[in-house]
Amino acid sequence: MEDRLLKDVHRHSGSCFCLPKQTVQAEFICGTYSYYHYGCDGFDDRGWGCGYRTLQTLCSWIQNKEFEREIEASSPPSLPEIQEALVSMGDKPKKFIGSKDWIGSFEACICIDYFYNVPCKVEHIRNGGELKNVIPMLKQHFKIIGSPVMMGGESDTSSKCILGVAEGILTSLLILDPHFYGQSTKDIIQAEGWVKWRPLDSFVESSFYNLCLPQYKIK
C-alpha cells in the first residue's frame, strides 16, 4: 500500500514548498515520508482517525530512514494494529479496540517506540500564544534529526504534521493536514491547502498543544 501513497507532498519538482514572502530563514524535514490521510488504505476513519494518520506519516519517515541504511523495517501499522498495541502496552482498556476513539501526541510517542524502538520527546505548550517559544527547538530538531513532528491540541483537536519552520516578518509552520479524503495528486494537495504555511497567530491561542518529536539517530 505504501507504494500507492503520495510522497513528499510539500516538494515542487525536488525543491521545497514555496516559502512565505520575506522569509529570512527556513528549516525543513530531511528525508522521505508518505502522506497518510483519511481513507488512504480503504479504511474510512473520517471524523476520528487524524491522529492515527499523522502517526503513520511519522512511521513512514522512520521506515524510509531504515531502508536508506539497508535495515529491514516494517510498514507503518494499520489503525487496528495501533489500537491493539495501545491495549497491549496498558495505555488503553480492551474496549478501545474497534472503537473510534481519538489518539494524540502522547499515544503516538509510545507507539513509535513500540513499533520501531525509536524514543520520542513530548513537548507541552501551554497555549497557542507560546508556540513562538518552541521555534528554536523545532529548528534544531529539523537540523539534527530531520523527522516530521506530530502536533495535537486541546480546543484545537485536529492532528497536524509539522514539516518545516520559516522565519521572517511572520513566523510560520509548514503543516500537512491528514483530513483529506479521496484520491488526488501532489499538485491538487498543494493547491487545495492540505499542505500549507500557517503563521503562528493562526493557531488557537487558548488551546494547549503537544508535540511528538521522534528522536531517531544513526545507531
Q: What are the sequence ranges of the domains in the chain?
A: 2-214
pTM, 2 dp? 0.95
Cβ neighbours for 127, distance < 8 A, ≥ 6 positions apart: 205, 206, 207, 208
- State residue 13's pLDDT score: 59
Residues designated as active site: 50, 177, 179
Contact 124, 115 (CB under 8 A): no
- State residue 156's pLDDT score: 84
Find how far residue 150's CA is from the centre of its chain.
4
- State residue 177's pLDDT score: 97
- State residue 12's pLDDT score: 75
Amino acid (one-letter) located at 34: S
- 141 sits in which H/E element: helix 135-144
Does the pLDDT at position 17 exceed 70?
no
How high does pLDDT run on average in the chain? 93
> Over the stretch 93-149, which tens digit does the pLDDT of each residue have?
999 999 999 999 999 999 999 999 999 999 999 998 999 999 999 999 999 999 999
Lookup: cell for 17 = 514548498
- State residue 1's pLDDT score: 59
> Over the stretch 138-163, which tens digit does the pLDDT of each residue have?
999 999 999 999 999 888 889 999 99
Class of domain 2-214: alpha beta
DSSP string, 25-69: EEEE--S--B---TTTTS---TTT-HHHHHHHHHHHHHHHHHHHT
- State residue 2's pLDDT score: 60
- State residue 15's pLDDT score: 56
Lookup: cell for 169 = 516578518
